[in-house]
Structure 1
């Protein structure tokens, strides 16, 4: 099914069936995909498959910067919690879990998911977890207990107190500038029984200069308000300057691009068109999308090293790659499929591990 997806199929039962390779009739191929999506044995094996995939990828990296985030399913009955390895352009999906909508943003679900992720990653790896403002104090505390670093945004009415100061402060009391600064070391939130300590970093990004229109929907107004607020980041990462913390957090948007790739019928896999129901079927579709994304990312990564991207760029830009790795892989699969057939995933992952530090970290 992942092969069909890399050749242009949508992430729906019938589209995958019509695009499967082989001599069988299309009707039989569609039934084959239907049996795979409803296979209860496969449903039980998905956590183990994700565990092996995560362990294989992370064991080849010198360290791991992992973005974790939620996204809603198109029918709003299910939500997806995903962890992705931050790389260049797009992140690589590692592990995910489909949960009912009523358990979205649940702290216990998040902590259990984090335990699964911790079991899959080699114990000697330094890991930094990046999250948005939806992950609160319980999450940061659990990450610290596992011996990992965290970097997350603080928004809303959460109070914090700097070390050596008796006054609890709110975000609205801070005055941000265009230069990233370290506000200081302190404790987050006065409510939890067990305090969570880290450093606070503040930065106000310059306005983009776009003029909004009246009558915007509620979701758009919320995103607009979030973009205008300064970034107050909370992190326990050691040895990083404020501008490095800000650059690290900005890479969190890679996982949002992954979500768009999975859902959008215009750009990529078109999960929004799927009418499959049930946790098991949705998890199989999500696993197929993750494997296709991994293969196409590595194919595009290899094509760039072979300087094939110059052949597929419409512009005359010669100093950088314009296409994403996924778009580049799509072009190579269409015009030069023989180059993709010789792709060795393990070798490409080893080469990625050698360049990973330069990809992720900002000096």
Structure 2
């Protein structure tokens, strides 16, 4: 099914079936996909499949910067919790969990997901988890207990206290500037029985310069408010300057682009067109999308290394990337469908590991 998705199919049952390779009738291919999506044996093996996929990727990296986030999945009844390896342009999906909407943002679900992720990554591998403002104190504390580092955003009415002070502060009490600064070391949130300690960093991000229509939806207003509010980051990462912490957190947007790649009918795999229902079927689709994204990313990465991307640009720009790895992979696969069969995935992951530090921390 991942092959069909790489060849241009949508992330829906019938589209995957129609695009499967082989000489069987289309009707039989569609039934084959239907049986695979509903196969309970596959459902039980999904955690093992994701664990093997995660280990095969992370074992070749010198360290791992992993973005974790929630997203609505398929429709309003289901949500997806995903961990993706931050890279260049797009992150690589590692592990996902589909849950009912009423369990979204649940602390126990998040901590259990962290434990699964920890079991999949080789022991001793340095890991930094990046999250947005939806993750709170118990999340950061659990990451610290696993021996990992974290960087997350503090927003709204969440209070913090700096070391040596008795005053509890909010982000509105701080004066942010365009230059990133370290506010100090302290504790996050008043109520937790077990305090969570880390350093606070502040910066006023420049405006993106977007001007839309006057009438906006509730979600758009929330995103607009988030973009206008200064970045107050809470982190236990050591040895980095404030601007490097900001650079690290800015990579979190890659996982948002991953969600768009999978759900958008225009720009991605078109999950929104799917009518599949039930936890098992949606979980299988999420793993298929992760596998296809890995193959497409590595194909685009390899094509750029071979300077093939210049043949697919609409201009002669050489100073920056014009086509994303996924878009470039789609263009190359249409012209050279056999390129994936000739690609050595392990060798490409090794090359990625050699360049990983510059990809993540390069400004």
Under TM normalisation by the shorter chain, which class is it?
Answer: over 0.9
TM-score by length of 1: 0.99
1:268-347 aligned within 5 A: 268-347=268-347
1:212/1:328 CA distance change after superposition, 3 Å:
closer
- Residue in structure 2 matched with residue 67 of structure 1 by the alignment: 67
Q: Does the 8 Å contact 1:86/1:252 carry over to 2? A: yes
Inter-partner Cα distance in structure 1 for 2:301 and 2:213: 40
Q: Does the 8 Å contact 1:244/1:362 carry over to 2? A: no
What's the offset of the Cα at 1:321?
2.4
Inter-partner Cα distance in structure 2 for 1:251 and 1:116: 23
What's the offset of the Cα at 1:215?
2.3
- Residue in structure 2 matched with residue 123 of structure 1 by the alignment: 123
Q: Does the 8 Å contact 1:332/1:340 carry over to 2? A: no
What's the offset of the Cα at 1:336?
1.8
- Residue in structure 1 matched with residue 30 of structure 2 by the alignment: 30
**In the alignment, does 2:137 pair up with 1:147?**
no
What's the offset of the Cα at 1:212?
4.2
Inter-partner Cα distance in structure 1 for 2:214 and 2:296: 40
Unaligned runs of 5+ in 1: none
1:1-363 aligned within 5 A: 1-362=1-362
Q: Pick which of 204-213 and 238-247 moved more.
A: 204-213
The C-alpha deviation readout for 1:295-335, integer Å capped at 9, x for no partner, is: 01001111111000011111110223210001111111001
What's the offset of the Cα at 1:207?
1.9
Unaligned runs of 5+ in 2: none
The C-alpha deviation readout for 1:28-76, integer Å capped at 9, x for no partner, is: 0000000000000000000000011111111100000000000002321
Q: How many residues align?
A: 363
Inter-partner Cα distance in structure 1 for 2:44 and 2:207: 48
Inter-partner Cα distance in structure 1 for 2:230 and 2:325: 31
Inter-partner Cα distance in structure 2 for 1:303 and 1:77: 39
TM-score by length of 2: 0.99
The C-alpha deviation readout for 1:143-164, integer Å capped at 9, x for no partner, is: 0010000000001111100000
Dislocated runs of 4+, deviation >4 Å: none
Inter-partner Cα distance in structure 2 for 1:269 and 1:32: 20
